[in-house]
Chains A and B, each alone.
Chain A
């Protein structure tokens, strides 16, 4: 059973460009979470999605950031007009149900975004 797949693993963008990060959850998982890890910091929750629905985006910056999880295909985290402060590792995680007591969410290997 393949794990959570993220791509690209590394992405370099110039200021003002768009970044698109993809996440394919584990087979049978319909719940996807995105977390951001800024340099030398822990992971911070960004958004929680189920198929075709955004359940909670309270951790997403209000502008330039959006996420989707379509009926078919991977979840996409999109960052428009990137700035240097967006440079971070973006981790996707998935679970078979909404993370319940004792449930574990499974992380992908992350996408490292560098804005130059």
Chain B
């Protein structure tokens, strides 16, 4: 079946450090891939998405490239800020109206 695997957290970085959060998936066909962010006590916000192989999604300095050959969608940011502290979820949609979420990766950025 379809699944999403994220690197476990928490990830703790200093401000302005480079961020990578790994995400790999298993799916039949050609899924769409998403990154959602959840700030403490809040709901999920769509951060970025990619709908086909080699697409790059980007938003607020974050980016992720849909790599079909490695079935990956790693999230990156060149310089994190304290305000980026949150839980990040990788998700997959394969056309059956069910979104499959990873378990989330907590990011903590220290000033």
Contact = CB atoms under 8 A, between A and B. Distances in A.
Interface of A: 6, 31, 33, 35, 40-45, 48, 55-56, 59, 91, 98-110
A110 B103 contact: no
Given A56-B98, A100-B95, 18 more contacts: A35-B101, A40-B103, A41-B103, A42-B4, A42-B104, A45-B98, A56-B97, A101-B30, A101-B93, A102-B49, A103-B93, A104-B34, A104-B46, A106-B46, A107-B43, A108-B43, A110-B43, A110-B44
Contact of B99 (A45, A56, A100, A110): A45
10 contacts: A31-B97, A42-B101, A42-B103, A45-B99, A99-B95, A101-B93, A105-B99, A107-B44, A107-B45, A108-B43
Contacts, number: 62
B97 A48 contact: yes
Interface of B: 4, 30, 32, 34, 36, 42-46, 49, 51, 89, 93, 95, 97-104
